[in-house]
Each structure stands twice: as structure tokens, then as C-alpha cells.
Amino acid sequence: MSSHFFLLEDTISPERLSWIEECLKFFFVKLNPENLLHSTKNRDTIFSLFLTGDSLYSLQNPETQQIWEIILSMPSVKLVCDSQELALRGISVERLRMKNPDQVIIHNSIALNGQPSFWKDVMKQARQHEQPVPSLVGYLHLTSPYMHRSSNAMLDCLHAVLECHASIDLYCYLDGVHVGHLGQKPSEFDNIGEGLTELSEKAAKRGLQCQMLACGRCAAARGYSTWDDGKGVVVSTCAIKPLRIRNLNETIDQFRRNHIILAGNCASIQLKKDGMRATFSVLDNERSPPLTILITSHPYGTESAFGGISLAIAAASQGILTRVIFIEDGVFSLTGNHRLDKPSPLFNMQEVIDAVSGSENLQIFCFTPSLQKRGLTKNAKLNGVLDIGIADFGNLLFYSPNGVAANHQRVLFF
């Protein structure tokens, strides 16, 4: 039975695939060396990596292809590709399959409509984290429709959720709120707004819940909030009927539950309960799955970095053990001395980080290999941000923090 999985949709850089490779090495060499000694025959999968969208190009890129070969040489690793997305892009993975025919999966399970469904394979994995079947699956959506095909992937995923008889939670955040705009009329794409409305109706017919929440701050910034009754209920005349615009805390209330939450780029890690504990831990007894947010993008070009840390602050304030790791281009949030030369509504990321460092249930880290790769050093004033290397990163991922009773950890990429 597979214990851990990554679901990746965006372009995978050599840097990203390298730290994933190092984490897997850490797991097998440091934490589970007995796996290296077993016969390769009849070995259960421990790590599953699901690839869809532009992440599939990494299987063809010579720089990342050689890293994939190292990953697939490890025991109990399986790579599952979205066959329809492979065909659309004309990508061949025969080189990897020739060396690892049982580990590289390019034929997906068949859905009820008779078509291959990558998302049905993802749901088979998600089912293992809540036995015997999940009662609820969440999905955090961050991007606008049509400009990004990820909205189609989100809709396909949620249809697969219904097929496995689970209820749906959709959390629309940042530009993800746009999937709920009323009156969408695309000419070259599936209508995402109509698709979500049909999904809600389909769930109701099956006696399943289908909740769609949009972050009130994100919706207001984009012109959706037209009336607030003062009690947290926001009414918008430009949103589809199933979408409810609410304070972000309502989404965080759902994060307190123990269900799987997927996203375009995410991971779910089964937590090890015995043996060595994570180097960094808290004493609070918390049954909510710990949340690790990876800030991978520059601080100011998009809302991603600020959105990631805002979600982390909200989760921590609701009692969820939350770790923020600045990694890849995310480390630019921690370098130099950021300042605003004139009064502005814009945020200063370093001031935000400094203000929340040391907050209860919130831990902030800097992945030092990302700094070293860029020849940078962290701003010394940010002493609440702890430096970690691959060993500490591995411990944070794979071991249950002291006092946490949850069976898995959620990892979200921003």
C-alpha cells in the first residue's frame, strides 16, 4: 500500500525535482534502510508521484530526465502519468519505461464514462488515507479559468471524487475565485462555471454534499462582494449559485478536519508515529493534519507568496500546526532589506514575516540549499526564520510532531 504521494501539475524545474529526489533518498537511506535490502519482486509502493499538465514535460527534458532515472532506481517508487495530457502534448516516456516498465504508468483506470481517468487513479490513492473510503475530499484551487488549464483538471478531479462516493469541498483562493463567476461563455474551452453548477446538482442527486467556498478577501479584491449582512454572509450578484463567499476562516475550519485536501501542486505524507521525532515540534495536542506550505515564488510579482503566508497565518490561528518553508525562488522573500519608499497599500513581505514569527502553531523555515544555489544570504534581522537543510526538511515531512495525532500531513505549493 502506498503511504505518500505527490501530485504535480506545473512545470517541474531541475531544482524542484532535485530536492524531491533528496527527500526520497533521505526517507529510504536514513529512515527506512530495511527497504533497500528487500527483493524488488512483489514490493509494495511507498511513494506515488502523479504527473499531469506541464509537469509531464519534465519526463522529456534531459536535465530532469536523468533525475527521474535516479528517483525510479529507488525502491517502491511509482510514477503515474496523465495519459490524455501526454497524448495532447505529444510526449513520449518510452526511455523511462524501458528501464522501469512496472514503475512508470501511462495507462490510467477507466472511469464510468468509459474514458481513461488519471483522476480516478489519484482517488484510489486518496482512499488509502481514510479507510475504508473517504467521506470527504477537499480541493484548494488557486488559478483563474481559461488562462490556466488547471481549472479543467480541478473539475475532472471533483467528478472523480463523486465517482468514489465521497462528498466535495472546493476552496477557491486567490485567482481561484474566478471559477465561480456568473455568465462565463468560453468558445474554445469547457465552461467551468456551468461545470461546477452541474457538479453540485449531480452531488445532490447522489445524496452527497458539495460545498464551494470562496475567500472573502480575494473575492472582494476582484469585485465579487456586493453586499455583506454583517454576520459573515456575503451576497454577490456575479457568482454562480453554488459558490459561497465567506471569510477565509470558514475554509480553515474545514482544514481542521482529517480529510484529504488536494491542489494543483501538493503532497500528502503519512506520518510516522514511532522512532525519531521531528527536530522542530510543538507540545499542543492537535488532531488536525499538520500543514506545510512551500513558498516557491518571488514575493511581489504575483500574489502567490503573500497568499501562501496568509493562509498559513489563518491556519495557525485556528490551532493547526503550520510550517512555512521558503524554498526555490521563495527565498527571495528573505534576502536583502525590503522597504517601501512611500506610503502604499502594498505589503512588505519581510515585515509580515517578522510580525508573525514566533506565533503559536506557526513555524517558519528557510531551505538553505535554495539560498546557496542563488549565491544569496538571509537577512540577519529575520531571526525568527530557522535555517534547514535536507535532513531537517526530511524530518519535518516524514515524522509526526510531538502531540499531533493526525495520520497524515498536507503539503501545499505556492
All three cell numbers of 404, joined, read 499531533
pLDDT in tens, 248-286: 999 999 999 999 999 999 999 998 665 444 444 433 445
**Phi, then psi, of 345 in degrees rounded to 5:** -75, -10
DSSP-derived letter for residue 290 is: P
Residues of the chain with pLDDT under 50: 1, 41, 131, 275-285
Domain coordinates in residue numbering, the chain: 1-107, 131-264, 272-337+347-413
H-type helices in 100-191, by residue range? Answer: 118-127, 150-163
Output the pLDDT for position 37.
62
Q: Which is the CATH superfamily of the domain at 272-337+347-413?
A: DsrEFH-like (3.40.1260.10)
- Going by C-alpha positions, the residue among 195, 190, 189, 136 that lies closest to residue 161 is 136
Give the dihedral sign, CA 185/302/413/328.
Answer: positive
The amino acid present at 51, given as its one-letter code, is L
The amino acid present at 168, given as its one-letter code, is I
Kindly give, in sequence order, each residue whose CB lies less than 8 Å from that of residue 180, ignoring residues fewer than 6 positions away.
172, 193, 196, 212, 214, 224, 239, 240, 242, 243
All three cell numbers of 387, joined, read 535555517
> Buried b / exposed e across 141-169, counting CB within 10 Å, b at 16+?
bbbbbbebbbbbbbbbbbbbbbbeebbbb
The amino acid present at 323, given as its one-letter code, is R
Q: Nearest 10 degrees: CA dihedral of 369, 370, 372, 378?
A: -110
**Phi, then psi, of 69 in degrees rounded to 5:** -65, -35
Output the pLDDT for position 291.
97
User: Tell me, which fold does domain 1-107 have in CATH?
Assistant: Hypothetical Protein Ychn; Chain: A, (3.40.1260)
Output the pLDDT for position 274.
53
pLDDT in tens, 356-372: 999 999 999 999 999 99
All three cell numbers of 107, joined, read 495507462
Burial class of 380 by CB neighbour count within 10 A (0 to 12, 13 to 18, 19+):
exposed
Output the pLDDT for position 344.
78
Give the HSE-up count for residue 391: Cα atoms under 13 Å, Cβ half-sphere.
Answer: 5
**Phi, then psi, of 308 in degrees rounded to 5:** -65, -45
Decide: 103 and 43 in contact? Cβ < 8 Å.
no
Decide: 393 and 280 in contact? Cβ < 8 Å.
no
Q: Which is the CATH superfamily of the domain at 131-264?
A: DsrEFH-like (3.40.1260.10)
Output the pLDDT for position 44.
80
Strand ranges for 82-226 from DSSP E: 104-105, 109-110, 116-117, 136-141, 167-172, 210-215
> Three-state SS string across 197-210, please?
HHHHHHHHHCCCCE
Output the pLDDT for position 280.
45
pLDDT in tens, 285-310: 457 999 999 999 999 999 999 999 99
